[in-house]
């Protein structure tokens, strides 16, 4: 499916695609037979602008009453020259006062022009094909919006582009009203050039910038409020219950990261629920309710923050810059669905909320990322390590169910008399041992980070529990998945913000 787009390097390739996949009535002709040639000078281009253009061709009208003017433009440039396109647009649109020369050539309303562009070397994977359209709100300048791809794009992105092309830019069926045709084609163009966030890295940079501003605002407010102020109280509560040596700077950092990442979590949740169609539901005041129930710790923490913030609280979210994060995630220029697809393509469909944190922290504070050891371990590596331990428990310790085994220390001692119960603490003079009823297989991850190892361990255990339940349906001893969770302990190396 994606090869159709990936292999399009020339306009002749594109014309074939337009006819075969989008139903354009081109009757098997090539570009030369279907188009009129324009010289750059005819469109008022300066010599320096004309040097960037290889060819300008207008597609002949394909049916009576066709409202669209369609132009193929090939640029001798690695990037789409927006200034040149604007200049071309200005010579093709209907003027309020048309001169004699203008009356001799065809003209269109700005919203009825479609530019199909190609730029970059044909032999390069970065050769880009793009459909460009100017949209002009009332009393404003035309804004260029583009739907494009190149051969180096991910399969997920190419699939998505192809779906949009087939849904929006197919040739109209017989009897489709002109207004509907206009709206459908224009609806394919949602993103401004250079201002659209479609990748995980781009979103991480924007969020990191806003989180830094929030952190700075929190520090300033702490410096100027009294010891009884809401931020001071929250800081003291964190020191009492979470991190006893948390400095004011560290608290400001924690506050900024938690609210920013909490909003991102909610936005991803909404995007996954509805394909991004209900981002308007993203409100800072409703943030805890939008965090998935699978992350109760984050929910509770955000509720605590909101008790001293929000519209009715003692902290002004607008003053801190939190609303800027909301607006970024709700913006039409932030394509959350594309971000999720971009990230999922790199991490084989894993949860972006979990693994996006490494990207975010690297952009927010790279040194802090290194200090905390926030590095994403690829899923194949995690799977290999966990399953190796699972097999070692089976082969070396005689535990048939490996990581899923519920054998106790007492049972292991009866099979292996040379074993001894370990001490209850690591104190040198500790003589008290653990209970023989403790499970022999227990998992401790002292640097949990994004919890990929614990999740993989639970996945292995659940698989064995399912098979055991089928085998022991009549037995009174039925392993419970809850026991697997109870035998897992995760602790972030630096502090709780790793979302373990």
Q: What is the pLDDT of residues 11-34, one digit of tens each?
A: 899 999 999 999 999 988 888 889
pLDDT score for 151: 73
Please tell me the distance from the alpha carbon of residue 101 to that of residue 99, in angstroms, as a whole number: 5
pTM (two decimals): 0.47
- Identify the three-state secondary structure at position 359: helix
CA distances (Å), origin 427, targets 422, 424, 431: 12, 9, 9
Q: Give the DSSP letter string of 268-332.
A: HHHHHHHTTTTGGG--GGGHHHHS-TT-HHHHHHHHHHHHTSSTTSSS-HHHHTHHHHHHHHHST
> Which of 201-205, 240-244, 454-458, 490-494 has the largest mean confidence?
201-205
pLDDT at 349 over 60: no
Q: Which of 330, 244, 224 is nearest to 283 (CA)?
A: 330
Beta bridge partners of 444: 489
Query: What are 315-326's pLDDT values in tens digits?
Result: 555 567 777 787
pLDDT score for 76: 79
Please tell me the distance from the alpha carbon of residue 498 to that of residue 500, in angstroms, as a whole number: 6
- Identify the three-state secondary structure at position 152: coil
Contacts by residues 376-380 (CB-CB < 8 Å, ≥ 24 positions apart): 376/347, 376/450, 376/452, 377/452, 377/453, 378/347, 379/347, 379/348, 379/350, 379/452, 379/456
pLDDT score for 345: 52
Please tell me the distance from the alpha carbon of residue 468 to that of residue 260, in angstroms, as a whole number: 43
pLDDT at 436 over 50: yes
- Report domain extents, the chain: 3-186, 200-355
Beta bridge partners of 113: 69
pLDDT score for 243: 72
Q: Which two tokens stand for residue 205?
A: 């940079």
């Amino acid at each position: 499916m994606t090869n159709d787009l990936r292999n399009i390097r020339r306009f002749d390739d594109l014309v074939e695609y337009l006819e075969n996949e989008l139903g354009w009535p081109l009757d098997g002709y090539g570009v030369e037979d279907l188009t009129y040639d324009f010289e750059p000078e005819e469109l008022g281009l300066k010599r320096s602008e004309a040097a960037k253009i290889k060819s300008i061709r207008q597609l002949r009208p394909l049916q009576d009453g066709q409202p669209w003017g369609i132009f193929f433009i090939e640029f001798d440039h690695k990037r789409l020259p927006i200034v040149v396109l604007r200049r071309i647009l200005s010579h093709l649109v209907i003027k309020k006062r048309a001169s004699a020369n203008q009356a001799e050539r065809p003209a269109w309303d700005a919203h009825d022009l479609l530019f199909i562009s190609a730029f970059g070397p044909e032999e390069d994977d970065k050769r880009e094909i793009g459909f460009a359209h100017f949209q002009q709100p009332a009393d404003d300048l035309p804004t260029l919006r583009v739907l494009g791809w190149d051969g180096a794009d991910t399969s997920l992105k190419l699939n998505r582009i192809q779906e949009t092309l087939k849904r929006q830019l197919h040739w109209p069926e017989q009897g489709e009203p002109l207004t509907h045709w206009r709206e459908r084609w224009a609806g394919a163009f949602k993103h401004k050039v250079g201002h659209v966030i479609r990748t995980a890295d781009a979103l991480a940079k924007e969020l990191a910038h806003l989180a830094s501003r929030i952190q700075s605002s929190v520090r300033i407010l702490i410096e100027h409020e009294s010891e009884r102020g809401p931020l001071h109280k929250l800081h003291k509560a964190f020191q009492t219950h979470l991190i006893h040596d948390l400095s004011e700077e560290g608290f400001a950092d924690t506050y900024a990261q938690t609210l920013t990442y909490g909003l991102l979590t909610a936005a991803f949740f909404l995007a996954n629920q509805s394909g991004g169609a209900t981002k308007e539901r993203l409100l800072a005041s409703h943030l805890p309710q939008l965090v998935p129930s699978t992350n109760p710790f984050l929910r509770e923490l955000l509720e605590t923050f909101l008790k001293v913030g929000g519209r009715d609280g003692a902290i002004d979210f607008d003053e801190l810059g939190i609303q800027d994060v909301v607006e970024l995630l709700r913006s039409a220029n932030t394509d959350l669905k594309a971000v999720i697809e971009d990230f999922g393509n790199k991490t084989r469909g894993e949860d972006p909320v979990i693994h996006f944190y490494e990207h975010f922290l690297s952009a927010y504070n790279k040194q802090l990322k290194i200090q905390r050891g926030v590095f994403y371990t690829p899923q194949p590596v995690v799977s290999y390590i966990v399953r190796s331990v699972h097999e070692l428990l089976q082969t070396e310790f005689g535990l048939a169910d490996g990581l899923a085994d519920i054998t106790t220390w007492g049972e292991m001692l009866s099979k292996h008399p040379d074993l001894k119960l370990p001490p209850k603490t690591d104190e040198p003079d500790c003589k008290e041992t653990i209970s023989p009823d403790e499970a022999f297989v227990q998992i401790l991850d002292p640097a949990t980070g994004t919890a990929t190892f614990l999740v993989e361990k639970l996945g292995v255990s659940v698989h064995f529990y399912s098979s055991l339940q089928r085998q022991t349906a009549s037995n009174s001893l039925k392993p419970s998945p809850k026991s697997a969770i109870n035998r897992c302990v995760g602790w972030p190396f630096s502090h709780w913000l790793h979302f373990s």
